[in-house]
Amino acid sequence: MYPQFPPGFRFGMSTSAYQIEGAVDAGGKGPSIWDTFTAQGGTVRHGQDGRVAIDHYHRYESDIALIAAAGVQDYRFSFSWPRVLAGDLDFYDRLVDTIVANGLRPVPTLYHWDLPQEFEDAGGWMNRDTAHRLADYASTLVLRLGDRVRDWITMNEMNVHTLYGYALGDHAPARGLGLGALPAGHHQLLAHGLAVQVLRTHGARGVGVASQHFPVMPASESAEDVAAATLFSDLTNWTFSDPILLGDYPSELIRAGVGVPDAQLDRDLELIRARLDFYGVNYYEPTMIEAPRVGKDYSGVLEVDIPDGMPFSPVPVKSDERTDFGWAIVPSGLTEILVTLHERYPALPPVIITENGASFHDAAPGPDGRVHDERRIAYLGAHLAAVADAIAAGVRVDGYYVWSAIDNFEWAAGFDERFGLIHVDFDDLSRTPKDSYYWYRDLIAAQAP
């Protein structure tokens, strides 16, 4: 009744610092771009922010104990760069000790979108120096925690950060640069390459990256729609994986767009293609693209509006089922993207699904004290089955982490979108495991040893 996975397959849960920690100025911590962005007003639903988030900074001990009690092997979280910059490494020392003491393997991400504002003021990811700052930060962390943390993820979803943060502006730092955002992508890739080097030098055992990937379907068979979909997929999928797994960008247009002179670019790509121990895939839904139709108004069609003049327009994926966030539920898209990655990259390392999950607007615990989130159970079950299908088709997948362990601050959507296996009452911050949490626990326990 539960999908089965090969022996040694690792189950986990994921979170990120800004979405859960709160305590935004504890220990002298300076602002990140998300503190600035959320303070701007009109940027996040209901004007919400991560100042308190779910106060994980003060509640990490009970949170970690609850996560461990589900029987997962791995816990993925991220470091707040401005917190580390302020020298508050004691928090991460205690957090890592707690994770290990609970029998979990820590799998931290260095960078999950919360750039220190002071680096943004110096140009952010459009400035090549930021990549070197990230390497310094990686070295601070591995020197302090490397005796207990053996597995590391460099960057989270460089494509989404570049698209939403730099190309469109729906996320921090809200730049709206369109195709001019490509250098921000390149500098993150360079940061990844430099971080891999630093982590390995200091004895890391496993090094990987977490990339969001999704099948991109043309809205029709017409040559225009197919070309638009190909370009969109080049920009949002392959620009961020080809350099790592093939050592080059997917097209001349993109190579030119990153704005680095050829000789330098070749040296950068040499660094970026550093061998990885695992490749993290975050999957939520496929995308459908058409060539813009003259006179058609795309505003409000999807959550994200692509600016006028772009050669592609996202349109809703045809799907009978959607999450409460409006995302199409297409589990076969996960099998498809895994098989595509396997076929595209002969050097693909073992994959870990570093994020997958769904937002449903779960009701508060009822009189029985439970949160009945049947739709999340169905979503997770179908996506785990899709992973099993990919394994059967020959893709090596070594693990699966649910996004998210616990309800949290969902970026521009604020607290409305609940992805957690654990429910949070945002008034009193109490935690209640949802039915999906118990289901996940039982699925893990039901695996053959």
Binding residues for substrate: 19, 112, 156, 284, 403, 410-411
CB within 8 A of 412, min separation 6: which ones? 43, 44, 45, 164, 170, 171
State which residue, 35 or 410, has the beta carbon closest to ligand FCB: 410
Token pair in block for residue 180? 């001019």
Token look-up 């990549």 returns 131
120, 290, 336, 355: which is the annotated catalytic residue? 355
Q: Which of 81, 87, 89 is nearest to 146 (CA)?
A: 89
Binding ligand FCB by CB under 6 A: which of 3, 9, 12, 16?
16
Verify binding: residue 439, ligand FCB, rule CB under 6 A. no
Terminal Cα-to-Cα distance of the chain (whole angstroms)? 16
Q: How far is the CB of 263 from ligand FCB (least distance, A)?
A: 34
CB within 8 A of 188, min separation 6: which ones? 111, 125, 131, 155, 158, 161, 162
Q: How far is the CB of 255 from ligand FCB (least distance, A)?
A: 26
Give the binding range for ligand FCB (CB under 6 A) out of 115-123, 152-160, 234-242, 434-442: 152-160
Verify binding: residue 407, ligand FCB, rule CB under 6 A. no
Binding-site residue positions: 19, 112, 156, 284, 403, 410-411
Binding ligand FCB by CB under 6 A: which of 157, 290, 336, 389?
157
Q: How far is the CB of 257 from ligand FCB (least distance, A)?
A: 23
- One-character DSSP codes across 12-73: EEE--HHHH---TTGGG---BHHHHHHHTSSSSGGG--SSSTT-HHHHHHHHHHHHHTTT-S
State which residue, 100 or 302, has the beta carbon closest to ligand FCB: 302
As a whole number of angstroms, the distance between CA 432 and CA 369 comes to 8
Binding ligand FCB by CB under 6 A: which of 240, 419, 437, 440?
419
Confirm if 322 and 328 have CB atoms less than 8 A apart: yes
355 is catalytic: yes
As a whole number of angstroms, the distance between CA 364 and CA 407 comes to 12
Site for ligand FCB in 198-237 (CB under 6 A): 212
Site for ligand FCB in 103-142 (CB under 6 A): none
Q: How far is the CB of 293 from ligand FCB (least distance, A)?
A: 28
Verify binding: residue 160, ligand FCB, rule CB under 6 A. yes
Verify binding: residue 373, ligand FCB, rule CB under 6 A. no
Q: How far is the CB of 301 from ligand FCB (least distance, A)?
A: 20
Give the dihedral sign, CA 9/13/444/440: negative
* Total Cβ atoms within 10 A of residue 404: 23
* Total Cβ atoms within 10 A of residue 430: 11
Q: Which of 185, 172, 198 is nearest to 116 (CA)?
A: 172
CB within 8 A of 266, min separation 6: which ones? none
Site for ligand FCB in 347-366 (CB under 6 A): 355
State which residue, 139 or 233, has the beta carbon closest to ligand FCB: 233
Q: By rule CB under 6 A, what count of residues binds ligand FCB? A: 11
Binding ligand FCB by CB under 6 A: which of 403, 426, 437, 440?
403
State which residue, 317 or 391, has the beta carbon closest to ligand FCB: 317
The site for ligand FCB (CB under 6 A) is made up of 16, 156-157, 160, 212, 282, 355, 403, 410-411, 419
